[in-house]
């Protein structure tokens, strides 16, 4: 058999008039009396293959069903009519695994396709989304590394809540009650005392009943934390990261965006600095659309969308009311009612990251815990960080899937992750 070639190489015009072999799966099949058209897919693309009745491949090609695996040998020809502009004139078909009738077909409902996730991941859409996801992860790691951050690995089993009890998943850990982590922030805070600038990319879990296009119960969280820094440093880092990732993807994922029909121009347009408005200004801008909003109200998904659509690009909202923020948020000494907390927002999704300065004063921190009904005894190790060499520090967490929903213009967050977990979905 001729050497195995990746389909993308053929589509890039590198094999024209050569005898090659491809290995993959049958994506589509159309048959007439004299000619069989096959679309074969591998991890890199889809190629049209023709089998003439006179070809020695005819008999095997006739047996092929959708999603059968095979190797196929033939000669590459340029052909404007073929999708992708090239086709293979097949001379040999070798069936590797003959597929039973494939359950996913054009007439199936979205619900059905979601139940067939393990098979739907072979679709072009999911193949492309997963590739972009991998590129986003790589670009993210590259930026952190360039900025001298060390990647660390925090635990997923934890003993005390980070983001409040209402979205906490509990579990039995032998005889003990533990939780699944909602954020690795508190563990990153431990590690800055050793490594200074740290980050992690890890799952976070939320017992989140909301069924929106932006909520999963298990999502991947990009989190950074570092000492000797303030809110301005934080926003500069976040906009730098976002710009680096958008520019990298605009460069490396052009094919994927084109095939997915996603708008790549919005990524190219991302430049520092990002607009910054205070929470107070956000409330004023939103009042006309939602007169019920007053200083102190939490911004809902609808409010954030209205605001974000006005900006039409990523921006920051900062200085939120302390009362709607977590216990660890640092507050202004002259204005304890305002917390140094900042959200990055994007059109259509609203919030994609939350970060801020952390309270470094032990006594204020204990007071904040009590105000929120938390027991300081449960956070002894966290308080130790303030006892031994406390330091001003900042950090943030960005939801990888929310970032992808925005980048790729996805209708729903479940398509940004291969195995989505929601209230109703956890199979396979």
Decide: is 243 part of the binding site for Mg ion (CB under 5 A): no
In 10 A of CB 158, how many CB atoms?
A: 19
Of the candidate spans 10-18, 214-222, 283-291, 293-301, the one that interacts with ligand 4AD by CB under 6 A turns out to be 214-222
Q: Tell me if 353 contacts Mg ion by CB under 5 A.
A: no
CB of residue 204 to ligand 4AD, shortest distance in Å: 7
Q: Is 325 in the site for ligand 4AD (CB under 6 A)?
A: no
Measured from the CB atom, the residue of 68 and 167 that comes closer to ligand 4AD is 167
Burial status of residue 391 (CB atoms within 10 A of its CB: 0-12, 13-18, 19 or more): middle
Query: Cβ distance 49 to 72 under 8 Å?
Result: yes
Q: Site for Mg ion (CB under 5 A): which residue of 167, 204, 322, 354?
A: 354
**Interatomic CA distance for residues 345 and 238, integer angstroms:** 12
Residues of this chain, 379-418, that bind ligand 4AD according to CB under 6 A: 395-399, 401-402
Determine the Cα–Cα distance for residues 92 and 136; give it in Å rounded to an integer: 39
Can you tell me the distance from the alpha carbon of 23 to that of 95, in angstroms, rounded to the nearest whole number?
Answer: 10
Q: How close are the terminal C-alpha atoms of the chain, in Å?
A: 37
Do 308 and 347 form a contact (C-beta atoms < 8 A)? yes
182 binds Mg ion (CB under 5 A): no
**Residue 215 vs 330, nearer CB to ligand 4AD:** 215
Pairing mode, strands 350-357 and 338-346: antiparallel
**Of the ranges 52-60, 151-159, 348-356, 378-386, which one interacts with Mg ion (CB under 5 A)?**
348-356
Which positions from 162 to 201 touch ligand 4AD by CB under 6 A, shown as an x/- string? xx------------------xx-x----------------
String marking each residue 223-262 x if it binds ligand 4AD according to CB under 6 A? x---------------------------------------
Residues 6+ apart with CB under 8 A from 407: 132, 136, 246, 249, 262, 267
Contact positions toward Mg ion, by CB under 5 A?
Answer: 354
Contact positions toward ligand 4AD, by CB under 6 A?
Answer: 162-163, 182-183, 185, 206, 208, 215-216, 219, 221, 223, 351-355, 395-399, 401-402
């Amino acid at each position: 058999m001729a050497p195995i070639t990746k389909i993308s190489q053929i589509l890039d015009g590198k094999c024209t008039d050569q005898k090659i072999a491809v290995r993959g799966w049958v994506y589509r099949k159309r048959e007439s009396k004299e000619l069989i058209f096959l679309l074969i897919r591998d991890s890199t693309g889809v190629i049209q293959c023709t089998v003439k009745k006179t070809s020695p491949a005819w008999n095997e090609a006739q047996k092929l069903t959708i999603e059968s695996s095979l190797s196929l040998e033939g000669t590459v020809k340029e052909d404007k009519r073929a999708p992708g502009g090239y086709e293979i004139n097949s001379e040999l078909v070798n069936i590797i695994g003959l597929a039973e009738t494939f359950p996913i077909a054009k007439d199936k409902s979205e619900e059905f396709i979601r139940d067939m996730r393990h098979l739907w991941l072979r679709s072009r859409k999911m193949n492309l989304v997963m590739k972009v996801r991998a590129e986003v992860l790589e670009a993210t790691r590259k930026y952190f590394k360039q900025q001298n951050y060390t990647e660390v690995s925090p635990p997923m089993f934890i003993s005390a809540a980070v983001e409040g009890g209402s979205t906490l998943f509990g579990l039995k850990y032998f005889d003990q009650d533990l939780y699944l982590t909602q954020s690795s922030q508190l563990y990153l805070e431990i590690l800055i005392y050793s490594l200074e600038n740290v980050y992690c990319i890890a799952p976070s879990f939320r017992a989140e009943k909301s069924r929106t296009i932006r909520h999963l119960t298990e999502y991947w969280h990009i989190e950074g934390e570092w000492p000797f820094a303030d809110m301005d440093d934080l926003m500069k880092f976040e906009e730098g990261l976002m710009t680096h990732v958008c520019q990298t993807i605009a460069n490396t994922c052009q094919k994927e965006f084109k095939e997915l029909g996603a708008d790549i121009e919005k990524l190219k347009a991302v430049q520092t600095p990002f607009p910054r408005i205070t929470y107070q200004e956000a409330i004023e801008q939103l009042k006309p659309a939602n007169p019920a909003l007053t200083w102190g109200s939490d911004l809902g998904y609808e409010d954030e969308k209205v605001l974000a659509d006005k900006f039409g690009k990523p921006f920051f909202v900062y200085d939120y009311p302390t009362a709607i923020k977590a216990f660890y948020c640092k507050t202004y000494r002259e204005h304890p009612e305002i917390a140094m907390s900042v959200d990055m927002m994007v059109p259509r999704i609203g919030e994609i990251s939350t970060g801020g300065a952390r309270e470094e004063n032990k006594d204020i921190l204990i007071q904040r815990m009590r105000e929120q009904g938390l027991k300081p005894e449960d956070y002894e190790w966290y308080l130790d960080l303030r006892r031994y060499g406390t330091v001003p520090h900042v950090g943030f967490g960005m939801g990888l899937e929310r970032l992808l929903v925005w980048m790729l213009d996805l209708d729903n967050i479940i398509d940004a992750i291969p195995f989505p977990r929601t209230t109703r979905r956890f199979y396979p």
